[in-house]
Structure 1
């Protein structure tokens, strides 16, 4: 199947989930994460802030902050086609709509709380389509692929996905980076990175 059609069809299916169903499935995924040894041992975690119908990360962010983990979230630099990692302490006050209205750290804390990606233990990634090898198709910009390969290659890569986003083998491109794990509401998949 054509990459663009697969991405579009999968996102349409994801968008059709009710808000309640998104919340329910997201909590199942978060409960799986909280029980994972790699999560328990992580000190610094980079996590996307959910947008539209993505797996919700707000409850995970709250849990990480309560556990004393350093929580980093992305700032999108469109011109540079890059991401920054910025530490937050309270998602309710530290975030505001940014690029494409995606929540990101407010300008006043960006410079003071920017953190080196080399310190990241885990990166939680969003995506449109995932596969059983640990493949991930993003949204077409390559931001996360560049970030994990060039700035944080040491970090464990974990994709968060609803089961409906899973395919046997995604039509990955050369720049698409493989993940260590993909966590859905039904299972944990060990990637082949």
Structure 2
């Protein structure tokens, strides 16, 4: 196991030890901090991951964005093509179903009518396993979001993370994409993407 894999595994184990009350309270603090940001105010079309297991919960965020009149897009994993299709949703309760690895994803019935071109995205809200103070990100090893980010360099990039997922510096690879911001329950970290 290399250093990156070890770091990812250790941080995910710590995240998985958060209890449901900690996850809910931290997720709410992160949601409130994000909703107050200019990036949310200025964006019309926002892609957000749908949370799974111990990730920062995003369903309340998605509902808040929809209530504000935002066009909300969520990813549909295409494993054989190693890509994410982007699908607009209106009602998470009806539009999402268990998908790849049991992660909630858009129902196939929404396609192709609700398929969204990545170039239409103003902002992408990402998950991840570990983040650093430069805006570096380790995902889960599949590279799906790195490929999406490379397609849309003009879209804003914000990750949601618990403070325990943030380290000083990650050993990033050339293909790893930097973020604009990381929002935790305690702070907003400004990344180095445009510096």
After TM superposition, the score normalised by the length of structure 2 is: 0.97
What is the number of residues matched between the two proteins?
A: 192
Give secondary structure in 2 for the equivalent of 1:85.
Answer: strand
2:7 alignment partner in structure 1: 6
Residue 168 of structure 1 aligns with which residue?
A: 168
How far 1:37 moved relative to its partner? 1.1
Q: Which residue of 2 aligns with 1:73?
A: 74
SS of the aligned residue for 1:28 comes to helix
Residue 29 of structure 1, CA deviation: 0.4
Structure 2 counterparts to residues 13-28 of structure 1, below 5 A: 13-28=14-29
Corresponding residue for residue 113 of structure 1: 114
SS at match of 1:80: coil
1:31 lines up with 2:39 in the alignment: no
Match of 1:156 in 2: 156
Distance 1:157 1:37 in 2: 13
Ranges of 4+ aligned residues in structure 1 off by more than 4 Å: none
Query: Structure 1: how far apart are the matches of 2:112 and 2:120?
Result: 17
Counterpart mapping for 1:84-95 below 5 A: 84-95=85-96
- Give the Cα separation in 1 of the matches to 2:24 and 2:173: 31
Deviation at 1:44, TM superposition (A): 0.3
Partners of 1:107 and 1:85 lie apart in 2 by 11
Instruction: Give 1:123 shift.
Output: 0.2
SS of corresponding position for 1:145: helix
Alignment root-mean-square deviation, CA: 0.8
Corresponding residue of 1:44: 45
Q: Which runs of 5+ in 1 are unaligned?
A: none
Distance 2:53 2:14 in 1: 13
* Alignment of 1:126 onto 2:127: yes
Q: How big is each residue's C-alpha offset from its partner over 1:36-72, in whole Å with a ceiling of 9 and x where there is no partner?
A: 1111111000000001100110111000000000000
Distance (whole Å) between structure 1 residues aligned to residue 168 and residue 68 of structure 2: 35
Q: Matches of 2:90 and 2:33 in 1, distance apart?
A: 23
Q: Give the secondary structure class of the aligned counterpart of 1:59.
A: helix
Give how far 1:30 is off. 0.5
TM (norm. structure 1) is 0.98
Task: After TM superposition, give the deviation of residue 110 of structure 1 in Å.
Answer: 2.4
